[in-house]
Chains A and B, each alone.
Chain A
Amino acid sequence: MTDLNTLGLAEARDALRARTTTSKELTAACLKAIEGAGALNAFVHHTPEIAMEQAAAADARIVEGDAPAMCGLPIGIKDLFCTKGVPSQAGSRILEGFLPEYESTVSGNLLGSGAVMLGKLNMDEFAMGSSNETSVYGNAINPWKVDERQLTPGGSSGGSAAAVAADLCLAATGTDTGGSIRQPAAFTGTVGIKPTYGRCSRWGVVAFASSLDQAGPMTKSVRDAAIMLETMCGYDPKDSTSADLAVPNFEALMTGDIRGKKIGLPKEYRMDGMPAEIDKLWADGADMLRDAGAEIVDISLPHTKYALPAYYVIAPAEASSNLARYDGVRYGHRATLDAGDGITEMYEKTRAEGFGPEVQRRVMIGTYVLSAGFYDAYYNRARRVRTLIKKDFEDVFAAGVDAILTPATPSSAFGLGEMTDVDPVQMYLNDVFTVTVNMAGLPGISVPVGLDSKGLPMGLQLIGRPWEEGDLLSSAYALEKAAGFVAKPTKWW
C-alpha cells in the first residue's frame, strides 16, 4: 500500500469516503513523515496533539455522514495565518511568543470543514522574500536536490512548498503578495493558485501589503487546488475587501476541456537573458494547450516591465503602514530598555531587534516613498502605473482572450546563500512574471510542467479573468494532463 502521506487531497478524500482509511491513519502517517524531515525545516511549530484530536473528530463526522470535502485531510498552515492558541509569528522575531486569541477566517474555514492542522510552516519574515532566507527560523530547504548544494524552496511560502513536495502533508496554505505561492510551487514541482483579490478573506492573516495579499492553496495536483480553494474562499464581513460572491464548485468546473479557448502568450514576458530551457518549456506548454484544442494567440501587455518597480513602491508603502503596529506594546517582542529610555527609544529598539534586515529595508523604503514631498513622485505615480498594468489585462480579456500562459519563474530553484551577496533588486527579479497578477488583482496558477537539464522542476503560470478561477483551473488541468509531470524528489533527508 502507498504511504498515506503521499496521497493528494482528492485521493485521500475518496479513500475516507470509501472507508478504506481513516483521518487518524492519514494524520499519523504525516506526523511520522514530519518527524523524519527536520532537515527540511519546513514545519516550525508542531501541533501533533491538536492534529490527532482533530483527526478523531473528523473520523466521527465521517461516520455520521457529515463530511465536507476537506474533512479529515491533514494539512500544514503557513505561519502567516493566526491560529488560535498556536504560535503565529509570520517568520519574525517581533512576534515571538504571540499566541493569537482568534482564528483567521481562512484557517477557520478549513478547520471548520474538518481539515486537520499538522502545524505551522516556515516562511520569509512577514512574507518578504523569494527564497525563505529571511525567516527567523532559518532557511526552509527544498526537498529537490541534484548535487551537494541545498536549494531554496522559493518564498515566501517556502515551508509550505517544501512540505507538500516532500509529502509531509497532503496540502498546505500559502499566501501570495507578489508571487509567494506561485514561485515556490514552481521551484518544488507542486501546484499553487492565487485566487482573484477578494476571494479569500484576509482577516487574521498577518498583513504585508493589504491591496496585494491573497491566500491560496499549495497542493500536489490541480484537482487538489480546486478542492482546497473552494473551502478557503467565501465572503467575510470582517474583511472589507472580501467579495460578496457565491463560491462555485471549482472541482466541477475543472473539466479540462479547453477546445476553442483562446490562450494568449504575452511578448513582453520574453525577457533578455532568460534561460533557453525556460523559453522552451513555455513553447512546449503552448503546444500542449494547442494540441488540447485551444487557440494560441500572441498578445501584448505593454506595461509589464513597470510592474516590478511599481510593486516595490506600493508593497513597501503598505508594509510600512501595516507594520507600524509592531511597537512592543500589544504583542510580541519588546526590547530591554536602558535607564531613562522613553517611549520613542522603546519603539526604535524594539523594531531594530524584532525586524530582520529585509523587513527593515522595506519598511524604510515604504516610509520614504510616503514621506512629505515624495508621495506624489513615488507612491501616486506607482498607483497610476498600476492602473495601466490592470488596463493591459482588461484590454486583452476584452479582445476575447480566456487565459494567459507565461513562465512562472525566470529560473529553476537556486542554491541557498547564492543570492546573499547580490543586491536586493536581483532577488526581487524572481517575481518578474508573477507580480503583474497581484498588481491587477487577477487569479494565477503555477503548474509543474517539466524538469530542466539539472533535473529540477520548472513551472508555467496561467493567468485568468477575475472571478473565473473555475475556468482557470480547467485550463491548468488540461496543461497538467498534457505535461504529465510525475517526478518526485529523491528522499535524502
Chain B
Amino acid sequence: MSIDTSTAARVAKLARIKVEDDALPALAAEFNNILGFIEQLNEVDVDGVEPMTSVTPQRLKRRLDVVSDGSQQQAVLKNSPDAREGFFAVPKVME
C-alpha cells in the first residue's frame, strides 16, 4: 500500500489539520515509511484470534442512571477562547 499526495491530503482533511500543498509530498513519504514498518503485522497468523477490547478482563462498571454532576456553566466555559452569554462562540456554521 502506497500513499500518494492526494491520499495524504484526504487524511489531513479527515484529521482537520491544515497542511499546505507543498508539504504534502513529504507527508506522504513519512506515512509510507511508518506504514511500511506497520506492514510487518501481515506476517502474523491472526486467524481465529479475537481483537483485544480490554487489556484486563473486566466488565465496565455501570452506574445508576441519575444526574450525578452538573450546574457548572461557569467552570465549563472558563477556559474557552471565546465564550459569550453563557455559550461557546464559534464562526458561523450554516449559511
Given contacts A101-B75, A303-B44, A309-B38, contact A364 B80 (CB under 8 A): no
User: Do A330 and B80 touch (CB < 8 A)?
Assistant: yes
Question: In the complex, A310 Cα to B63 Cα: how many Å?
Answer: 33
List which A272-317 residues lie within 8 A (CB) of chain B. 303, 305-306, 308-310, 312-313
A397 lies within 8 A of chain B by Cβ:
no
List which B43-81 residues lie within 8 A (CB) of chain A. 43-44, 46, 49-56, 58, 60-61, 63, 72, 75-76, 78-81
User: Do A313 and B41 touch (CB < 8 A)?
Assistant: yes
Q: Residue on B with the closest CB to A197?
A: B55
User: Do B31 and A368 touch (CB < 8 A)?
Assistant: yes
User: Do B49 and A388 touch (CB < 8 A)?
Assistant: yes
- Contact segment of A60-68, A109-117, A332-340, A411-419: A332-340
User: Do B14 and A367 touch (CB < 8 A)?
Assistant: yes
B84 lies within 8 A of chain A by Cβ:
no
Question: In the complex, A378 Cα to B40 Cα: how many Å?
Answer: 11
Using Cβ atoms and an 8 Å threshold, which residues of chain A touch B81?
Answer: 328-329, 331-334
Tally of A-B residue pairs with Cβ under 8 A? 168
Contact of A342 among B34, B37, B63, B91 (CB under 8 A): B91
A421 lies within 8 A of chain B by Cβ:
no
User: Do A384 and B49 touch (CB < 8 A)?
Assistant: yes
Question: In the complex, A387 Cα to B56 Cα: how many Å?
Answer: 11
Q: Residue on B with the closest CB to A302?
A: B44
User: Do B37 and A309 touch (CB < 8 A)?
Assistant: yes
Q: Residue on B with the closest CB to A311?
A: B38
Using Cβ atoms and an 8 Å threshold, which residues of chain B touch A425?
Answer: 33-34, 37
Using Cβ atoms and an 8 Å threshold, which residues of chain A touch B49?
Answer: 384, 387-388
The majority secondary structure among interface residues of chain A is helix
Contact of A330 among B17, B46, B88 (CB under 8 A): B88
Using Cβ atoms and an 8 Å threshold, which residues of chain A touch B92?
Answer: 342-343
User: Do A332 and B79 touch (CB < 8 A)?
Assistant: yes
User: Do A348 and B16 touch (CB < 8 A)?
Assistant: yes
User: Do A196 and B56 touch (CB < 8 A)?
Assistant: yes
Given contacts A198-B58, A364-B31, A424-B34, contact A99 B78 (CB under 8 A): yes
A423 lies within 8 A of chain B by Cβ:
yes
Using Cβ atoms and an 8 Å threshold, which residues of chain A touch B34?
Answer: 312, 361, 365, 424-425
Candidate in B15, B31, B40, B78 with the most chain A CB atoms within 10 angstroms: B15
User: Do A388 and B44 touch (CB < 8 A)?
Assistant: yes
User: Do B93 and A384 touch (CB < 8 A)?
Assistant: no
Question: In the complex, A102 Cα to B37 Cα: how many Å?
Answer: 40
- Contact segment of A1-9, A185-193, A235-243: A235-243
Which residues on B are within 8 Å of A, measured CB to CB? Answer: 3, 8, 11-19, 27, 30-31, 33-35, 37-44, 46, 49-56, 58, 60-61, 63, 72, 75-76, 78-82, 88, 90-93
